[in-house]
Amino acid sequence: PSGPALLFVKTSRGKEEGRRFYACSACRDRRDCNFFQWEDEKVSETRLAAREEYNRNHQPFFTHRQNVERYKNFVLLPLSKRKFCQECQQLLLPAEWEKHSHHQFLCDISTAQLKSPSQLLYPLENKKTNAQYLFADRSCQFLLDLIIDLGFRRVLSVGTPRLHEIIQSKASQEEDFRVRSLLLDIDFRYSQFYAEDEFCHYNMFNHYFFGGEAARETCRKFLYEDNGERVIMVTDPPFGGLVEALASSFKKLMSMWKETEKEGHNSQEMPMFWIFPYFFESRILEFFPSFSMMDYQVDYDNHALYKHGKTGRRQSPVRIFTNLTPSMIVLPVEEGYRFCTICQRYVSSGNQHCETCNSCTSKDGRRWKHCVLCKKCVKPSWFHCNNCNCCALQNHACEKTDAGCFVCGKAGHKRSTCPSLSRT
CB 22, CB 5: distance < 8 Å = yes
Q: What is the pLDDT of residue 281?
A: 92
pLDDT at 27: 83
Q: Of 349, 369, 387, which closes a domain?
A: 349
Q: Which amino acid is present at 250?
A: F
Residue 418's domain comprises: 399-423
Confirm whether 252 is domain-assigned.
yes
- Do both 184 and 50 map to the same domain? no
Domain assignment of residue 361, yes or no: no
* Average pLDDT estimate for 212-219: 95
88 and 47 share one domain: no
Q: Are residues 143 and 182 in the same domain?
A: yes
Is there a contact between 157 and 236 (Cβ–Cβ < 8 Å)?
no
Same-domain check for residues 90 and 23: no
Domain count, the chain: 4
Same structural domain for residues 218 and 195?
A: yes
Q: In terms of domains, do 93 and 186 share one?
A: no
The rounded distance, in Å, linking the Cα atoms of 137 and 186 is 22
Do the domain assignments include residue 378? Answer: no
User: Quick check: 354 and 377 in contact, CB under 8 A?
Assistant: yes
Give the confidence band of 132 by pLDDT, cuts at 50, 70, 90. low
Of the candidates 124, 236, 136, which has an alpha carbon nearest to the alpha carbon of residue 184? 236
Whether residue 128 lies inside any domain: the answer is no
- pLDDT, residue 330, reads 93
Res 403 pLDDT > 80: no
pLDDT in tens, 266-300: 558 899 999 999 999 999 999 999 999 998 999 88
Task: Please give the model's pTM, rounded to 2 decimal places.
Answer: 0.87
When mean pLDDT is compared across 64-68, 254-258, 419-423, the lowest value belongs to 419-423
Percent of the chain residues past pLDDT 90, beyond the cut: 52
80 in the same domain as 19: no
Within 8 A by CB and 6+ apart from 354, the residues are 360, 361, 368, 370, 377
CB 153 within 8 A of CB 325: no
Are residue 323 and residue 344 in the same domain, yes or no? yes
The band of 361, judged by pLDDT with boundaries at 50, 70 and 90, is: confident
Selection from 340, 371, 337, 372 nearest residue 353 by Cα:
340
Within a 10 A sphere around the Cβ of 79, how many other Cβ atoms?
10
